[in-house]
């Protein structure tokens, strides 16, 4: 059994949820809110530091540059929308345990097709938002990969330009060390390195998780119950069946608190 779930061991009165702007969200959703703010900030910093620098704009055609900016902004917007839906969509709250539900240890809520509680964004992952979780990972991975590729091309172009401008002293080790320390003292260079680390690390993590959960969903193993019980079929199409019809968490009417004793009566 997943450590985040306990079928009937937690009472409803132990739920840890909060209302933000009318939406019922997990109490640890600050990570998700930080990502909602941080992703556009990082994208803006990347555009200013790498994509729209004088070196990049001079070496590229106007239409190519516009296309790069458009694609990056589109991926950023898609990631933001999917993260928002992941946070505020009803993960599958039910007012009584079912064959496919488990109780989230963190929230104390019974969730249909419960998989896990994602502490990184602060959301229960279940039947109602697994599709947004996978799509968020997909678009976040694409955004990170795009940024990493652009950073690599930018660094390659900068090195070539430096070699062209300082050809006589290129073989001097002292000149290389001095150029390296000079570059590291630049805030733009430090920002470039930070963005590169975030892009590579985020791309690896999001790609791995996206492939993992897509694989589980494809084989009908997208929840704790489906992985633990035999004879409960599932499919990728079932996971994405409600993608265009999100049910928001504020529409769920919380039932009265109950305990195991109530269920046995």
2 domain-assigned? no
The structural domain count of the chain equals: 1
Nearest Cα to Cα of residue 92 among 256, 247, 250: 247
Contact 52, 103 (CB under 8 A): no
Spatial CA neighbour of 116 closest among 249, 244, 262, 221: 221
Give the model's confidence band at 1: pLDDT under 50 very low, under 70 low, under 90 confident, else very high: very low
Residue 138 lies in a domain: yes
Q: How many CB atoms lie within 10 A of CB 234?
A: 21
Average pLDDT along the chain: 82
- pLDDT, one tens digit per residue, over 53-82 is 887 777 778 888 899 999 999 999 999 999
Q: What is the pLDDT of residues 177-234, one digit of tens each?
A: 666 656 666 788 889 999 999 999 999 999 999 999 999 999 989 999 988 776 677 7
What is the span of the domain harbouring residue 183? Answer: 36-89+127-243
pLDDT at 28 (0 to 100): 86
- Over 70: is that where the pLDDT of 176 sits? no
Q: Where are the beta strands (DSSP E) in the chain?
A: 17-20, 23-26, 101-103, 110-112, 116-118, 123-125
- Residue 185 located in a structural domain: yes
Q: Give 36-53 pLDDT, tens digit per residue.
A: 999 999 999 999 999 988
Residues 152-171, mean pLDDT to the nearest whole number: 71
In sequence order, which residues have a C-beta less than 8 Å from that of residue 144 and are 6 or more positions away?
Answer: 198, 199, 200, 202, 203, 206
> Confidence band (pLDDT; 50, 70, 90) for 86?
very high
Residue 60 covered by a domain: yes
**Domain assignment of residue 195, yes or no:** yes
> Which of 160, 168, 16, 142 has its CA nearest to residue 71?
142
Top-confidence range, 11-15, 44-48, 245-249, 261-265: 44-48
| Conformation bin of residue 21: beta by default, left when phi > 0, alpha when psi is -120 to 50 | left
Residue 106 inside a domain? The answer is: no
**Residue 133 pLDDT more than 60?**
yes
Within a domain: 121: no
Predicted local distance difference test score (pLDDT) of residue 262: 41
Q: How far apart (Å, rounded) are the C-alpha atoms in residues 246 and 91?
A: 10
Inside any domain, residue 6: no
pLDDT confidence bin for 253, thresholds 50/70/90: low
Q: Which two tokens stand for residue 29?
A: 């959703």
């Amino acid at each position: 059994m997943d450590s985040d779930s306990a079928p009937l061991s937690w009472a409803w009165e132990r739920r840890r949820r909060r209302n933000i702007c009318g939406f019922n969200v997990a109490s640890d959703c600050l990570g998700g809110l930080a990502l909602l703010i941080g992703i556009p900030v990082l994208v803006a910093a990347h555009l200013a530091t790498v994509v729209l620098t004088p070196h990049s704009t001079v070496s590229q055609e106007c239409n190519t540059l516009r296309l790069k900016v458009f694609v990056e902004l589109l991926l950023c917007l898609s990631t933001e929308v999917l993260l928002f839906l992941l946070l505020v969509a009803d993960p599958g709250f039910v007012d009584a345990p079912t064959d496919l539900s488990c109780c989230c240890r963190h929230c104390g809520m019974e969730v249909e097709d419960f998989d896990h509680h994602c502490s990184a964004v602060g959301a229960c992952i279940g039947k109602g938002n697994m599709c947004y979780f996978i799509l968020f990972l997909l678009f976040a991975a694409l955004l990170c990969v795009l940024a990493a590729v652009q950073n690599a091309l930018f660094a390659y172009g900068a090195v070539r330009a430096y070699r062209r401008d300082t050809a006589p002293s290129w073989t001097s080790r002292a000149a290389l060390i001095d150029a390296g320390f000079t570059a590291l003292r630049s805030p733009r260079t430090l920002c470039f390195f930070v963005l590169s680390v975030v892009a590579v690390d985020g791309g690896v993590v999001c790609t791995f998780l996206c492939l993992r959960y897509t694989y589980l969903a494809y084989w009908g193993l997208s929840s704790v119950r489906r992985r633990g019980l035999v004879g409960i079929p599932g499919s990728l199409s079932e996971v994405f069946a409600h993608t265009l019809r999100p049910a928001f968490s504020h529409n769920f009417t919380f039932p009265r608190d109950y305990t195991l004793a109530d269920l046995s009566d």
